């Protein structure tokens, strides 16, 4: 597989044509998200997979009327934990013990490190750290979508508070962070279709020491 070729093919698609992404391709993108790295392995977010046209119509004005919201096949919403809590740490440790076997010194160390962080870090700082983990998963999703030849548009251009309200995310202890419409480019109407990528010169981007 030529990964660079896939990454050159992808772009932040501005118009989509409504064509449906198959369950198989969608699952492969979701699997990649699930396998993505996260700090401590917490995966402190929920990804909502929104196919409902009705719901996407309601989200449209909240996302600055960006047409991909209703033209896509599935809209992914990455919503991060609003805070780190003892309960969440306990659940994470329990899952680790379930998968890897009995408690060890290292699981106990992680547990107390995280509980200490939960208690002593301001909520907003904790949230910012947790939200950053969603960005890593977004990056992985973008690569997976490109490999599957599915178009995708990473989006911060929406009103998180309004989306949280629409989906009652506060009750779930979540805050919306990123949107990712998945679908297929509308070759006739997307002004970006054949535009070359703009990237900083490699000698500015990379420093070899």
Ligand X SMILES: Cc1cc2nc3c(=O)[nH]c(=O)nc-3n(C[C@H](O)[C@H](O)[C@H](O)COP(=O)(O)O)c2cc1C
Chain residues that interact with ligand X, rule: CB under 6 A: 11-12, 14, 66, 153-157, 197
Token reading at 123 = 């909520």
Give the integer Cα–Cα distance in Å for 147 and 95: 30
Task: Tell me the closest approach of the beta carbon of residue 38 to ligand X, in angstroms.
Answer: 17
Distance of CA 156 to the CA centre of its chain: 11
Q: Which is nearer to ligand X, 13 or 111 (CB)?
A: 13
- Residue 18 sits at the vertex; the CA angle it makes with 178 and 196, to the nearest 5 degrees, is 65
Q: How many helices (H) and strands (E) does the chain have?
A: 9, 4
- Please state the closest distance from residue 157 (CB atom) to ligand X, in A: 3
Strand partners, 80: 45, 175
Which of 23, 202 has the CB closer to ligand X? 202
Closest distance of CB 6 from ligand X, Å: 12
Based on CB atoms, which residue is closest to ligand X, 11 or 45? 11
**What's the rounded Cα separation, in Å, for the pair 7 and 39?**
25
Residue nearest to ligand X (CB): 157
Residue 67 CA to residue 79 CA, distance in Å, equals: 21
CB of 65 to ligand X, least distance (A): 11
The residue whose two tokens read 């790295």 is 37
Nearer to ligand X, 48 or 85 (CB): 48
Q: From the CB of 48, what's the least distance to ligand X, in Å?
A: 17
Q: How far is the CB of 151 from ligand X (least distance, A)?
A: 10
Instruction: Evaluate whether 66 touches 155 at the Cβ level (below 8 Å).
Output: yes
Give the residue ranges of DSSP H helices in 66-185. 68-71, 86-100, 105-120, 123-147, 160-166
Alpha-carbon span 126 to 88, nearest angstrom: 13
Q: Which residue, 11 or 110, has its beta carbon nearer to ligand X?
A: 11
Question: Which of residues 16 and 26 has its CB atom nearest to ligand X in the complex?
Answer: 16
């Amino acid at each position: 597989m030529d990964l660079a070729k896939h990454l050159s093919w992808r772009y932040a698609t501005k118009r989509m044509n409504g064509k449906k992404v198959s369950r198989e391709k969608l699952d492969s993108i979701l699997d990649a998200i699930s396998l993505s790295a996260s700090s401590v392995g917490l995966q402190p977010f929920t990804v909502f997979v929104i196919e409902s046209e009705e719901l996407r119509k309601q989200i449209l004005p909240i996302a600055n009327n960006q047409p991909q919201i209703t033209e896509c096949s599935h809209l992914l919403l990455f919503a991060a934990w609003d805070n780190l809590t003892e309960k969440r740490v306990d659940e994470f440790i329990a899952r680790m013990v379930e998968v890897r076997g009995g408690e060890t010194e290292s699981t106990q160390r992680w547990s107390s490190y995280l509980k200490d962080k939960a208690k002593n870090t301001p909520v907003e700082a904790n949230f910012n750290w947790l939200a950053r983990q969603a960005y890593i998963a977004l990056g992985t999703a973008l690569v997976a979508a490109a490999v599957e030849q599915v178009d995708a548009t990473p989006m911060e251009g929406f009103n998180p508070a309004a989306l949280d309200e629409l989906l009652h995310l506060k009750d779930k202890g979540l805050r919306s962070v990123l949107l990712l419409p998945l679908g297929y480019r509308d070759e006739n109407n997307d002004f970006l279709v054949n535009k070359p990528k703009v990237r900083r010169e490699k000698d500015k981007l990379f420093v070899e020491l």
